[in-house]
Chains A and B, each alone.
Chain A
């Protein structure tokens, strides 16, 4: 799948941590979302710094996109009900850095050989990755969790005819650094292509 078939909703602020990874993706001003034909795209990437009032007003655009058998990536803290299957962000009460510890809940190619400690800590500081969770919809596949099992990353193939990957931190497409984590972005990109192809073939993934 060509990179330009991944459309990133551009929030036009250049917020750190939300770059879409390697170049080649298509960037669409998020306020143009209702006016742009989305047929050319296999995946829509929606940042946490997006206007959720606007997304709520145009939630049908996102749902219709998914129901074409396509993929949506979201990373951020939901507080409006615009994302299919989405629930409002629940912050974790933080008493120590141990409260931020990320665990891989289920083996998945995206996290093969990834050290969860490296997800949790940057230069010895925890908290960049996720500071809470979204309660998951029925049937969701939970990939990463906080210490009490709160899901910080899930895949939802049930809420629509497409697939959602929802993170309570950043979306993982931009993850290109670290010793064991540097391949995550590329793997997410490969996962999007694989997921899209299967969806378009009408295969229901269990």
Chain B
């Protein structure tokens, strides 16, 4: 099983998500960002960056993530509030968030699957990744898109070419919603994501 570091900045929803036993069993360590030092990610295979981080903490952790990826590690990014700076080789586009798409007649999320044979889809379904989103990525490298909007913006993709490591990038924020006791799809997403990160083909 890969050793996963879940980064943590003392927020209630991170606390609940990372300490939920069914996810905690996949997490080798919960790493509190304000206490991190340059070598804090040594010995891990995967590092998980939660959404909604204080910009000062993002600035602190960014060079560590780059080094980790340069060493061949896997960086998993949930909706980063400073996406342009954090995720390599892509352009981020903020999108107005439609929390209500599912209330409309003939509800259509506008979210589509790509590469259905990808190993992640042995762990989650497209529906498990379908809730509102805050923006899209336009990757510039040779990436594997997994969930996209109708116009091709990426909501979930894997990038193995921009660095020596692997970036699993999503504009979704499952740990916020699950950890805030809100929205069941986010729990199904995490139910699949953790075993995939620990044991799947990334």
Contact = CB atoms under 8 A, between A and B. Distances in A.
A124 B52 contact: no
Contact of A79 (B15, B54, B55, B56): B15
A89 interface: yes
A50 B13 CA distance: 10
B181 A91 contact: yes
A13 B12 contact: no
Given A15-B52, A31-B56, A132 B11 contact: no
Interface string B72-84: 0000000001000
Q: Is the interface of A mostly helix, strand, loop or mixed?
A: loop
B103 A52 contact: no
Contacts of A20: none
A91 B99 CA distance: 22
B182 A127 contact: yes
Contacts, number: 61
A30 B56 CA distance: 11
Interface residues of B, number: 22
A125 interface: yes
Contacts of A124: 103
B126 to A, nearest CB: 22
A79 B17 CA distance: 13
B42 to A, nearest CB: 22
Given A13-B52, A13-B53, A13-B81, A49 B11 contact: yes
Contacts of B81: 13-14
16 contacts: A12-B54, A12-B56, A13-B52, A13-B53, A13-B54, A13-B55, A29-B56, A49-B11, A52-B12, A55-B10, A76-B12, A77-B13, A79-B16, A91-B181, A124-B103, A131-B181
List the 7 closest A-B pairs by CB distance, nearest first. A51-B10, A53-B10, A77-B12, A12-B54, A131-B181, A13-B52, A12-B55
